[in-house]
Amino acid sequence: MKARRSATRAIALSAAVLAGCAVPPVERRETPQLELPVPAAVVPQMPAEWWKSFDDRRLDALVAEALANNRDLARAISRIDESRAVLRLASADRLPRVDANVSGSRQHFGENAPLTIGGNRLTFNDFRANLSVAYEVDLWSRAASLSAAAREELLASEFARDTLRIVLAAQVVQSYATLQSLDAQLLLFGEAVLAQRDSLRLQRMRFNAGDISELDVQQLEAELIDNEAQLPKLERARGEAERALALVLGRSPKDLLERGLVRSEAPTLRASGVPAGLPSDLLLRRPDVQAAEARLRAAGARVDAARAAYFPGITLTAAYGFQSTELSNLFDGRSLAWSILAALTQPIWDGGRIDAQYEITQARHRQLELDYRDRVAVAFQETRDALGAFAEASATLRSAQRRAQALARAAELTRTRYDGGQSSRLDVINADRLALTAQAQGADAARALTEAQANVFRVLGGGWHVSSLH
């Protein structure tokens, strides 16, 4: 009867202790429901390797080189390896732990020690060999929540890698377009300089023959000097663009100085179109948006783990093996020893540590929810801006091409009039300058259109099929 009453009191005391703990209520957490634009009627199929739509094998090779050798991408992949190891560590906490233990000791107790026989000193050996098993019962899903958080962090790191892949591909395409634009401008100004040098030589011959005035010669020479001055500027800009692209490709410092970038003759890039409309579903599948969502879910799982710390912890341990005072008969059947232990630990007072940890995880969750909302809003803003920039670049290129054709024809007519004595040499120089400038602007407009198109693919997620874990 006494034992029964003692057990009843212990149960009542435990219930009172548990009832006195201020355990936070369970929170229902879901990904925030955002007010999004009506999705397009047809969600466009984004090609995974969208840059191949430019049909330039050398560009394809450069993108492949960047994805294979870029150091930022290598760091992102290393972070995935780290996250995967963290997940294995968190998952291991949910499993029993088995240890093999072998020990040997010799102990001596004096006459005044509590462990004596008849007041005599006691000296003995203690040899042990056993297997022990320890298991924490995850009754409140603390370990499961931490494992879920680690899995979401792994997903976030994979999405971060995919985001970087998209950015790198867009950078390579845009840098390649810049190089081809500079190549085109160098070609234009180089041909103009050669033509003007020949023209200046002929004009000097005509001046020496008394057919034209010195003014015609000086005007042409001034224009030649101005165009020659553009060549080193364009060469410098091209060199800087090449080295910037080489860094993105992950090339060594030696390669930056000694290796050139092989590319197609300018201009070869051509716009291949972009998806129409604003597909909301596609934007929500952007890797950076999915990374923000995965981090939010991880934070929610950590809140659950912190809440579980308010409840009792239950630990089961068992040992099976041998124990003897003599090494020679350690593994004798009479040396068999085993033990089983169940322990329950209920936090009562810890100076507010559990409360503080719970509040930390809640605050972190609120921060990441705001981050997710911001990331979605930025995705829509970037897409609207990118589509607008692409439309503007398309219109600008069409205008630049028509203007270049018109000015080229005007220059041709001006030269005809000059040959007929109806225009001055200055008229010819001005017409040629305008035609040359228009051609250079056309090459730059083509670059701007390609860059705008690459940016559209970037902000739409680039078509990567991300994360096998998701």
Tens of pLDDT along 263-296? 665 444 555 555 555 556 667 778 999 999 999 9
- Which letter does DSSP use for residue 209 in this model? T
Sign of the dihedral through C-alpha 273, 278, 282, 288: positive
Give residue-wise pLDDT tens across range 383-399. Answer: 889 989 999 999 999 99
Residue 300 pLDDT > 70: yes
Please name the residues in contact with 7: beta carbons below 8 A apart, sequence gap of 6 or more: none
Residues forming a β-bridge with 313: 345
Tokens 């970038």 found at: 261
pTM for the structure as a whole: 0.80
Residue 261 pLDDT > 70: no
Of the candidate ranges 63-72, 307-316, 322-331, 407-416, the one whose mean pLDDT is the lowest: 322-331
CA Rg value for the chain: 39
Per-residue confidence band for 76, with pLDDT thresholds at 50, 70 and 90: very high
Q: Cα(256)–Cα(242) distance, rounded to whole angstroms?
A: 8
Taking phi over 0 as left and psi of -120 to 50 as alpha, with beta for the rest, 119 belongs to left
Q: Cα(286)–Cα(380) distance, rounded to whole angstroms?
A: 11
The set of long-range contacts for 19-25, using a CB threshold of 8 Å and a minimum separation of 24, is 21/310, 21/346, 21/347, 21/348, 22/310, 22/355, 23/307, 23/310, 23/311, 24/307, 24/310, 24/358
Short-list 157, 158, 160, CA closest to 168: 160
Q: Cα(244)–Cα(260) distance, rounded to whole angstroms?
A: 12
What pLDDT is attached to residue 11? 44
What is the DSSP secondary-structure string of 443-470? HHHHHHHHHHHHHHHHHTTTT----TT-
Q: Give the residue, 408 or 34, on which the prediction is more confident.
A: 408
Residue 121 pLDDT > 50: yes
State how far the alpha carbon of 445 is from the alpha carbons of 180, 185, 192, 207, 236, in Å: 12, 12, 20, 40, 20
Q: What percent of the chain has pLDDT over 70?
A: 80
Domains belonging to the chain, first-starting first, are: 31-94+141-311+353-459 (1.20.1600.10), 99-137+312-345 (2.20.200.10)
Give residue-wise pLDDT tens across range 168-217. Answer: 999 999 999 999 999 989 998 998 898 889 888 888 998 888 888 888 88
Q: Give the residue, 15 or 325, on which the prediction is more confident.
A: 325
Per-residue confidence band for 55, with pLDDT thresholds at 50, 70 and 90: confident
Please name the residues in contact with 167: beta carbons below 8 A apart, sequence gap of 6 or more: 458
Mean pLDDT of 320-340: 89
Q: Give the residue, 326 or 462, on which the prediction is more confident.
A: 326
Give residue-wise pLDDT tens across range 3-45. Answer: 445 544 544 445 444 444 455 665 666 666 655 554 433 344 5
Residue 463 pLDDT > 80: no
Give residue-wise pLDDT tens across range 218-245. Answer: 988 998 999 899 999 999 999 899 989 9
Q: Give the residue, 55 or 283, on which the prediction is more confident.
A: 55
Q: What is the mean pLDDT of the chain?
A: 83
- Copy the structure tokens of residue 112: 């005044």
Q: Give the residue, 69 or 29, on which the prediction is more confident.
A: 69
Give residue-wise pLDDT tens across range 338-369. Answer: 999 999 999 899 899 999 999 999 999 999 99
Per-residue confidence band for 133, with pLDDT thresholds at 50, 70 and 90: very high
Mean pLDDT of 418-424: 85
Mean pLDDT of 330-345: 91
Q: Give the residue, 35 or 162, on which the prediction is more confident.
A: 162
Q: Cα(5)–Cα(243) distance, rounded to whole angstroms?
A: 84
Q: Cα(338)–Cα(326) distance, rounded to whole angstroms?
A: 18
What pLDDT is attached to residue 433? 87
Phi, then psi, of 183 in degrees rounded to 5:
-60, -45
**Coil, strand or helix at 296:** helix
What is the DSSP secondary-structure string of 17-64? HHHHS-PPPPP---------PPPPSS-----TTGGGGG--HHHHHHHH
Q: What percent of the chain has pLDDT over 90?
A: 51
State how far the alpha carbon of 467 is from the alpha carbons of 152, 285, 343, in Å: 11, 11, 41
Give the range with max mean pLDDT: 122-126, 175-179, 259-263: 175-179
- Which letter does DSSP use for residue 113 in this model? S
Per-residue confidence band for 311, with pLDDT thresholds at 50, 70 and 90: very high
Determine contact, residues 427/361, Cβ cutoff 8 Å.
Answer: no
